[in-house]
Amino acid sequence: MTGLGAELLASGRGFVQNVGATTRFLLHLVALTPAGLLRFRLIVEQIYNAGALSLVIIMTSGLFVGMVLGLQGYDLLQRFGSEDSLGTGAALALLKELGPVVTALLFAGRAGTSLASEIGLMRATDQLSAMEIMAVDPMRRVVLPRFLGGAISVPLLTAVFIAVGLFGVQLVGVQFLGVDQGSFWSQMRGAIELGDVTEGLIKGVVFGVACSLIAVYEGYNAQPTAEGVGRATTRTVVISAVLTLILDYILTAIML
Amino acid sequence: MRPSRTIDLSTGLFVLLGFAAMLFLVTQITNREFSLSTGGTYRVNAQFENIGGLKVGAPVSMSGVTIGRVESIGFDMDALKAAVTLRIDGRYNRIPEDSDASIFTAGLLGGQYIGITPGGAEESLHDGSRIEFVQDAIVLENLISKYLFSQAGKEKAAEPSPQE
């Protein structure tokens, strides 16, 4: 029994330690950000890697999420004879929840893993140590541009996801199922406030920072072995996904 | 590594697409058309006994055309009534002063809105003027109790009184 208790205590301590180290890592990155923004070229490269290359998966997913939302929303609403509200319901769902959350999850799977394994492999092959020897700070040269590129990309990807998703809803609802186009758009415009849009984009920013932070942290602190890099990649996806969902609840509770 | 010009091009496209999507979300699917209209707006007040489920931002319409929105809802402690301020688009500046404002419900599940029925006065509503003729929101419970009481009254009248 004491063995189990001690083990639980140790793992609890490890968790808290990890939270602390991640926070310190974030503060370090924030402190470096003003100087890092001057190295614009490095950031552009990372926006390309994390954002532009994720565009296809984001748009495809957005389209199909929107189309499913159109089908399900129509089926639900026509029971109450109010299928004209399809636009409102689907737009609110996409703006407030589905857009930011699904984008963050896809980003963690598509870009977060590649960030973590890339940095982890640099660690495993001593590239980071080599940089330190050459008096190049790997935090500035490697970690910061990747973090910023990811954090900038996610809100943009979120906006693209929502817009494409709305197109999907419109495609199924109006073109396939025959909801009136005029009332679809006018009811949506009547019900949606600017605050709903900003809520979604704020979530996108927060999720972007969180997912990028987890990815670069796990990669940077990976065990310098093949197994360690693999484990860091897995941890990145798991922690990013769980953190996104927890943050989503907290943000919703604050902004509702 | 690809040549940097390709990277720049696709990054630029990606960023532009992202901002275009944001712009689309902000301008095309929200109800911000009134802040963008050029004619300005003016405020009109109205007092209701009961506003039902009217909310700030609800449309103000005349003959079904949206001409403004509910700007604020408060309670007037002197009159002991709900004080509603309507913000009306400046394009519609010749609404007769004796028009009446009623609270309606849009559809079965829709929200409530204010409908304005024009009167016949020469004077028109202007900034700060007050709509005198109002009709409250219909509360279902009141309707039912009114109906029940009137039924009870009829039954009593129909019963022959024992004295006769």
Rounded to an integer, the average pLDDT of A7-12 is 89
Rg of the Cα atoms in chain B? 25
pLDDT at A55: 92
Lowest mean pLDDT among A56-65, A102-111, A218-227, B90-99: B90-99
Say whether residue B56 is in contact with chain A using an 8 A CB cutoff: no
Picking from B2, B30, B32 by the largest number of A CB atoms within 10 A of its own CB, the best residue to mutate is B30
Q: Which residues of chain B have pLDDT under 50?
A: 34, 36, 164
Which residues does chain A have within 8 Å of residue B111's beta carbon, measured at their own beta carbons?
A: 191
Q: Which helix (H) or strand (E) holds B61?
A: strand B59-62
Helices (H), A125-143: 127-133, 138
Distance from CA of A186 to the nearest CA of B (A): 9
| Subunit contact B26:A51, Cβ cutoff 8 A | no
Residues B8-26: pLDDT tens digits?
888 888 999 999 998 888 8
Residue B38 DSSP SS3: coil
Cβ-nearest to B57 among A85, A162, A193: A193
pTM of the model: 0.75
Q: Is the predicted pLDDT of residue A203 greater than 90, yes or no?
A: yes
pLDDT at B36: 46
| Subunit contact A52:B13, Cβ cutoff 8 A | yes
Q: Which residues contact A123 (CB under 8 A, 6 or more apart)?
A: A219, A220, A222, A224, A229
Say whether residue B26 is in contact with chain A using an 8 A CB cutoff: yes
| Subunit contact B8:A197, Cβ cutoff 8 A | no
Q: What whole-number distance in Å separates Cα of residue A124 and Cα of residue B135?
A: 76
Tell me how many degrees the CA angle A159-A160-A161 measures, rounded to the nearest 5.
90
Contact B46, B136 (CB under 8 A): no
Across chain A, mean pLDDT equals 91
Lowest mean pLDDT among A60-64, A177-181, B39-43: B39-43
Residue B75 DSSP SS3: strand
